[in-house]
Structure 1
Amino acid sequence: MPDFIDRFGLFDESTGQTVLSSSRQSIITSLLSAGTFVGALAQAFTSDRFGRRGSILIWSGVFTVGVAVQTGTVRSIVQLTIGRFIAGLGVGALSAIVPLYNGETAPKALRGTLLVLYQLQIIVGLFLSYVLDLATHSIANSASWRVPVGLQLVWGLALLSGIFFLPESPRHLLGIGRTEKATRVVAELNSVPIDDALVIETVEELQFAINEENAGGKATWVECFSTRNAMWKRTANGMMLQFIQQLNGQNFYYYYGDTFFKSAGTDLSPYVIQVILGAVSVAGTIPALYLIETWGRRRSLLTGAIFQAICALIAGLVGHFTLAPTGTAQALLTQRNKSGGDTLIAFAVLHVTSFSIFWGPTPWVYLGESFPLRVRPKAIALGSATNWFWNFLLGFFAPRIAVDIGPLILLIFFGMLVFGYFYVYLCIPETKGLSLEEVDEMYRSGVKPWNSAGWTSHLIERMHEQEKRRAVDNVHDSDERAAAA
C-alpha cells in the first residue's frame, strides 16, 4: 500500500522513489512469526498456573496491546515490528490454548467437530481480512493500512470480554483438586442438574483417569519425550503433523501465489487473488465439520495427502514446462502459456480446497486430543511452536527457492505429501469417538496405528473392577472389626 511504503520504506536515490526493501519486508514479517513461536511455548506455563480460562484472558490482553502499538505507529518501523512481536506472542499462545480448552470441554462425540469449527473460524477471519484489504488498499492515506490493522482490536476485546462468560476446563479443575467446581462445570456443559447420573459418572471417570495419569508426580518438559505411556510417540506425532501441514504447499500459494498467477497470464491483483483463495478455503473447511467424525482423523489425512500430492505434481510440471519466464512481456505470452496458466491456477485452487477439507483442520484436532492432562499444555505447546517455526522458515526461504527453480518448487511439496501419507499410515492412530482419557489408554495399549480403528477401551471396566475390589476390602475390614469387638 503506497502510504505504508512511504512511512516505513527507504528512499532509493537511483530511482527517486521510496521502496520497501526485501530486508525490511523480511523484518516486518518474521517478527510476528518469532513472537508466535515464543508465545506457543510460553502458554504452557500460564495454562497450568492460571488455568485455561485465565491463560486465554492473559494472552488476549497481550495480543490487544500488540495491535494497539502497531496501530499507533506513525513512521517508526521499530515500533511497528515491536508491536507485531507482541501481537505474535498472543497469537502463538492462543493457537495452543484454544484447541487445548476446546478439547478439554467438548463431549467426545463433538470434540472433532468443535475443533474443526475452530479452524473454520480462523479461515473465515482470514477471508474477512482479505476482503478488508481489498476494500481499503486504494485509500490515499494511512487508513489504507490502519483500518485492517486496527480492527484486530475488536476481536481481541471480544475474546477478552467473552471469556468471562465461559467456564474453566473441568479437567484442569479436577487436576488441581477442585472437584466440586468441576462437577458444576460438567453439569453446565451438559445442561443437566448437578446430581444427574451423567454428571456423576463423567466426573468419576475423569477423576479415575486423572489419578492414574498423576501417579508419577509433577510432569516436566522432558516427560514429553519419555517412553512412559508412549509419550515420545505422541509428542513426535503432534510435531510431525504440524511440520507436514506447513510444508504441503498451501501456504506457498497464499504467500507467493500472485507471482505465479501473474506468470500464468492473469490480470487479477494480489488482493483479488487473496480473496479468491480465502473464499475457497472457507468453502473447503465446511465439509470437514462432517467428515472429521464420520471418516475419522486417519482417513482424512490419508485422503488429503493423495489429493494434494496429485495437485502439486500436476501444477509443478505444467507450470515448469508451459509457463513463460517471470518478466516476459504480456504481448509475447502464447496460447500455450495461457492454457498452462489456466491449468496451474485450477490445480492451485484444488490444492487449497483439499487442504481446507483435510490437512488444514485435522492436525489441530489431533494435537488437541492426544495427550494426558499432566503434560497436555507442554505437548500442545511443542506442536504449536513447530507449526510457527516452519511457517517462519517457509516464509523466509520459499521466495528465494522459487526464484531459482520456479514452479518446480511444488515438487518439493509433492515429496512432502508422499512422505506425509506413509507417516500417517504407519504412525498416526485413529482417535475418533474416544474420550481424551481413552486416547491415553489406547496409546498405552501399544495398538498398531493401522489397527487402531477397531480398538476398544477398557477404562470403565478397570474403574468398575477397582470399585469392586474396594468394596470387597471394605467388607473384609468390617468383618475383622466385628470379630475383634
Structure 2
Amino acid sequence: MLNGKAILFCAFVAFGGFLFGYDIGVISGCLIMDDFVKRFGTSNGSGGFVLDANRQSIITSLLSAGTFIGALGQAFTADRFGRKRSITLWSAIFTVGVVIQTASRHSIAQLSVGRFIAGLGVGAMSAIVPLYNGETAPKAIRGTLIVLYQLQIITGIFISYVIDLATHSIPNSASWRVPVGLQMVWGLFLIVGSLFLPDSPRYLLGLKREADARRSIASVNGVDIEHSIVDETIAELSVAIREENEGGKATWLECFSTRNMLWKRTLNGMMLQFIQQLNGQNFYYYYGDTFFQSAGTSLNPFVIQVILGGVSLAATIPALRLIETWGRRRSLILGAILEAICAIIAGLVGHFLVPPGASANPTPRNKQGGDVMIAFAVLHLFSYSLFWGPTPWVYLGESFPLRVRPKAIALGSATNWLWNFLLSFFSPRIAARIGPLILMIFFGMLIFGAVFVYLFIPETKGLSLEEIDELYRAHVKPWNSTNWKPSPKHIDAQPSMGQRFTMEKSSREEQSIN
C-alpha cells in the first residue's frame, strides 16, 4: 500500500510535466492578446500594432533555448547537491524567470530574458524529475509514471488554454499578466513540495549513507525500515551501482560505442526525439491562435485552442493502456501515418481554400476551408497524443543498460529540446512566407518517421533490460522483432538483481564463517 507521502510524491513528479505544458500553451494565447501585442509589438503604420514573425519567434524560442541549457546543467547540480535540493534550486530559478516576465512593461528584451531563465528551470526539471522518480518511486507506480508525465504536460497545455480564454478579453495588462503570473504559484508549489520529499536512496547509497537510504525507501513505501521491500530495494540499487562502476566511470563517448550496440540504441533514442518534435504538434501549441485567426472561421481562436487542448488530453489517457497492448513499433508507425494524412489535408486545404486575409474578409468559401483545416488539426493532435507523444519517451527510458542510461537519456532529452528551440524559432518565419504549406514540411517528416521506425526501431514491449541487450546483440531485424523471443536463460534462469545480491551476500558470509 502507498502512504500519504507516496501519494504526494506521485503528484509532485507529475506536476513537473504540468509546469512545462502550461508554459507552452500560455504563450500561444498571449501572442494575440491586444494589450500584449500593443506592449511588445510594433506599429503597423495605421495607428495599430502588430507582433511580427521575428518578435514571435524570439518570445517563444528563448524558453526552449533555456530548457536545453538547463537540461544539461542539472547533471552537475543533481550530483553535487543531491536530487531533492537540486529540484528546489531549479524550481526557484524558474520562479525568478516568471517574476521577470510578469513585471515586464514594454521591453521585449526583459520578457525574453525572463522566458530564458524560466526555461532553465523547466529544462532542468524535465530531467531531474524522471531521474528522481526512477531512483525513488515505489515499484507499484514506477512503470506508469513515464506516460503519466506526458499526460501532465498535456494537462498543463489544456489548463493554460482555459485560463487564456477566461482572461483574453480583459482590457488591460491583466489579460496576459494573470495567466503568465500564475506560474509563480506552480513554481512555489514545487519548491514547497520538494521540502517534504525524502532524498533519492540511490544518491544516498552512492555517498555510502545506507541508513539514510533505508529511511528514504521506508518512508516512500509506507513500511517499517526492516521490511523486505527495503532490503530488496537496497539490494537492487547496490548491484546497479556496482555494475555502473565496473570498468571505471562511464563516459559520454561510451554511449556511441560498439559495446552491446550502444551506438545504435543511442542514435535511435535521439532520432525518435527529433522526429517527435517535427510531428507538427508544437506548431499548433505555440502558434495555434495566430494560425487559426487566418482560417476565416467564426469560432473564437481561443475557443479553438481549448478544443485542441481538450482533445490532446482525452487522447493521452488511453495511451496509458495502448503503450502496453499495441506495442511501441505499431503505435509509432500507425501514429505517423495518421498524422501525415491530417497534415497534408490541412496544409492543402489551408493553401487553396483559405486565401491570405481570410480573417479580415471571411466568405462562405473561406469559412468552409477554415473549418476543414481546424478539423484535421484536431485529428492531428489526437493522433499525436495517442501515439507519438508518450511512446518516444517510453522507448528512451527502457532501451539502455544501467551503466550508461543517465547519459543516453540525457542525449535524447537534449535532442528534444534542441529541435523544440529550432521549431519555435523558425516556424513563424516560415509560416509568414508559405502559410499553411508549412504543414507539408511536417507531412514529409512524418512519412520519414514511419519508414525510420519500420527499418530501425525494434519492439521492446515486455522485455527486461537484459533481454533488450540480447535483442540488440542478436542483430534481430526490427521488422522481425515483434515475434522475437529471448533465450530460455533470460526467461527462467536469470536471477533478479536482488537475488544476485542476496546470493553474493550469503556467499561472503559463508566465506567469513569458514
Q: In the alignment, what sits opposite 1:8?
A: 40
Q: In the alignment, what sits opposite 1:265?
A: 296
Deviation of the 1:106 alpha carbon: 3.6
Q: Mean Cα displacement is larger for which, 290-299 or 266-275? A: 290-299
Residues 377-418 of structure 1 deviation map (CA, whole Å, 9 limit, x = unaligned): 433332222212212222222333334444343232222222
**Aligned residue among 78, 81, 97 for 1:50:** 81
Deviation of the 1:348 alpha carbon: 1.6
CA contact (8 A) 1:40 1:89 kept: yes
Q: What TM-score does the superposition give when structure 1 sets the normalisation length?
A: 0.86
**Aligned residue among 440, 455, 468 for 1:411:** 440
The alignment partner of 1:219 has SS state of coil
Q: In the alignment, what sits opposite 1:483?
A: none
Deviation of the 1:467 alpha carbon: 6.8
Deviation of the 1:338 alpha carbon: 4.8
- AA aligned to 1:235 is T
- AA aligned to 1:141 is N
Alignment of 1:327-346 (within 5 A): 327-328=357-358, 333=363, 335=365, 338-346=367-375
| Separation of aligned partners in 2, 1:181 and 1:476 | 28
CA contact (8 A) 2:54 2:429 kept: no
| Separation of aligned partners in 1, 2:172 and 2:500 | 72
- Mark the CA change 1:446 to 1:98 in structure 2 (over 3 Å): closer, same or farther: farther
| Separation of aligned partners in 1, 2:331 and 2:177 | 39
Q: Mean Cα displacement is larger for which, 379-388 or 147-156? A: 379-388
**Aligned residue among 99, 102, 108 for 1:68:** 99
**Aligned residue among 316, 336, 352 for 1:305:** 336
Corresponding residue pairs, total: 475
CA contact (8 A) 2:240 2:402 kept: no
Residues 58-104 of structure 1 deviation map (CA, whole Å, 9 limit, x = unaligned): 11011011111111223333322221111111111111222222233
Deviation of the 1:251 alpha carbon: 1.7
Q: What TM-score does the superposition give when structure 2 sets the normalisation length?
A: 0.82
CA contact (8 A) 2:43 2:49 kept: yes
Residues 415-442 of structure 1 deviation map (CA, whole Å, 9 limit, x = unaligned): 222222233334334444566x657755
**Aligned residue among 333, 354, 366 for 1:324:** 354
Residues 189-242 of structure 1 deviation map (CA, whole Å, 9 limit, x = unaligned): 333333333332332233223212211222333333333444333332222121
| Separation of aligned partners in 1, 2:296 and 2:219 | 57
| Separation of aligned partners in 2, 1:5 and 1:375 | 47
Q: In the alignment, what sits opposite 2:10?
A: none
Q: In the alignment, what sits opposite 1:223?
A: 254
- AA aligned to 1:363 is P
Matched, 1:85 2:116: yes
- AA aligned to 2:330 is R
Matched, 1:347 2:376: yes
CA contact (8 A) 1:108 1:433 kept: no
Deviation of the 1:4 alpha carbon: 2.4
The alignment partner of 2:223 has SS state of coil
Alignment of 1:123-202 (within 5 A): 123-202=154-233
- AA aligned to 2:286 is Y
Q: In the alignment, what sits opposite 1:289?
A: 320
Structure 2 gap ranges (5+): 1-32
Matched, 1:255 2:286: yes
- Mark the CA change 1:18 to 1:405 in structure 2 (over 3 Å): closer, same or farther: closer
**Aligned residue among 430, 451, 454 for 1:401:** 430
| Sequence identity (%) | 67
Q: In the alignment, what sits opposite 1:389?
A: 418
- AA aligned to 2:42 is L
CA contact (8 A) 2:97 2:114 kept: yes
- Mark the CA change 1:58 to 1:471 in structure 2 (over 3 Å): closer, same or farther: closer
Matched, 1:277 2:308: yes
| Separation of aligned partners in 2, 1:284 and 1:114 | 17
**Aligned residue among 206, 220, 223 for 2:237:** 206
- Mark the CA change 1:326 to 1:7 in structure 2 (over 3 Å): closer, same or farther: closer
- Mark the CA change 1:161 to 1:187 in structure 2 (over 3 Å): closer, same or farther: same
**Aligned residue among 42, 49, 71 for 1:40:** 71
CA contact (8 A) 1:112 1:432 kept: no
CA contact (8 A) 1:252 1:398 kept: yes
**Aligned residue among 382, 385, 390 for 1:356:** 385
Deviation of the 1:465 alpha carbon: 6.9
- Mark the CA change 1:201 to 1:383 in structure 2 (over 3 Å): closer, same or farther: same
Deviation of the 1:329 alpha carbon: 7.7
Q: In the alignment, what sits opposite 2:268?
A: 237
CA contact (8 A) 2:319 2:390 kept: yes
- Mark the CA change 1:440 to 1:58 in structure 2 (over 3 Å): closer, same or farther: farther
| Separation of aligned partners in 2, 1:163 and 1:439 | 36
Alignment of 1:440-479 (within 5 A): 441=469, 445-446=473-474, 448=476, 449=478, 450-451=480-481, 454-455=485-486, 456=490, 460=495
The alignment partner of 1:460 has SS state of coil
CA contact (8 A) 1:39 1:89 kept: yes
Q: In the alignment, what sits opposite 2:12?
A: none
- AA aligned to 1:84 is R
Q: In the alignment, what sits opposite 1:482?
A: none
- AA aligned to 2:453 is V
| Separation of aligned partners in 2, 1:383 and 1:57 | 24
- Mark the CA change 1:428 to 1:54 in structure 2 (over 3 Å): closer, same or farther: farther
- AA aligned to 1:325 is P
Alignment of 1:115-126 (within 5 A): 115-126=146-157
| Separation of aligned partners in 1, 2:451 and 2:321 | 24
| Separation of aligned partners in 2, 1:307 and 1:54 | 43
Deviation of the 1:477 alpha carbon: 8.4
CA contact (8 A) 1:247 1:416 kept: yes
CA contact (8 A) 1:99 1:364 kept: no
Q: In terms of Rg, which structure is larger?
A: 1
